[in-house]
Amino acid sequence: MSALLQYVQVGVPEAVAATWIPAVTALVAVIVGPIVTLYVARHQNSTALAVARQQIHAELVSASRQQWINALRDAVAEFLATALMVGVRRAETLQDEAVGEQSQRLARVALLRTKINLLVNPNEADHQRLTALIETATKAVLSIKAADDATASGFGDTQRQIIQVTQQVLKREWERVKSEGGVVAVARPQPRG
């Protein structure tokens, strides 16, 4: 408005000032509008890209952790079942045809023990406890020579402890999976309610 008054005071006719001011304003809007739009679009794209990267990372970590949980649970379950069968068969009188089968079970126990040791984190206390219990169970099963040794070996108590520690480890890891899933949910718009 003050520019209009200057034009009028200088002697510029009011009709010319009224024509030039909207024209200059329109010209500025035509030039500045797309620049502002481009800046906002770039900012929105970089924000959307960052959110997408965060979601992908969280989903990959959660999926990997879920696979780890499944692998550990399966390995411990199979270890316990196979070790139990080794103990039962050692307590019985082995026949020649069953010796080969028993050797395969012993090899499977060794493989599963190693797999469990590779799956756990040696820096976490409950993982260390699980590893120690797996070693105790292996020694208990291998010490069985007759039916009386089967109950005296302590395998049943060790088996219960392995299950308890494994459940604790799996529960904690499942909580991590759920909390990492929460990262994805935070990035998404929350429903109104």
pTM: 0.65
What's residue 95's pLDDT?
58
- pLDDT digit string (tens) for 85-125? 887 776 565 555 567 787 888 899 999 999 999 999 999 99
Position with higher pLDDT, 152 vs 170: 170
Average pLDDT over residues 147-152: 54
The Cα–Cα gap between 56 and 31 comes to 38
The Cα–Cα gap between 178 and 78 comes to 26
Domain ranges (residues) in the chain: 70-182
Average pLDDT over residues 66-88: 90
Please, are residues 166 and 130 in contact by the beta-carbon 8 Å criterion? Answer: yes
Q: Whose CA is closest to 80, among 174, 169, 156, 190?
A: 156
- pLDDT digit string (tens) for 48-68? 888 888 888 888 888 888 899
> With 70 as the cut, is the pLDDT of residue 190 above it?
no
Handedness of CA 44, 49, 52, 54 (dihedral sign): negative
What's residue 124's pLDDT?
93
**186: confidence class by pLDDT, cuts 50, 70, 90:** very low
Position with higher pLDDT, 75 vs 104: 75
The Cα–Cα gap between 27 and 150 comes to 94
Beta carbons within 8 Å of 121's beta carbon, 6+ residues apart: 127
The Cα–Cα gap between 63 and 184 comes to 13
Terminal-residue alpha carbon distance, the chain: 48
Distance of alpha carbon 135 from the chain centroid = 28
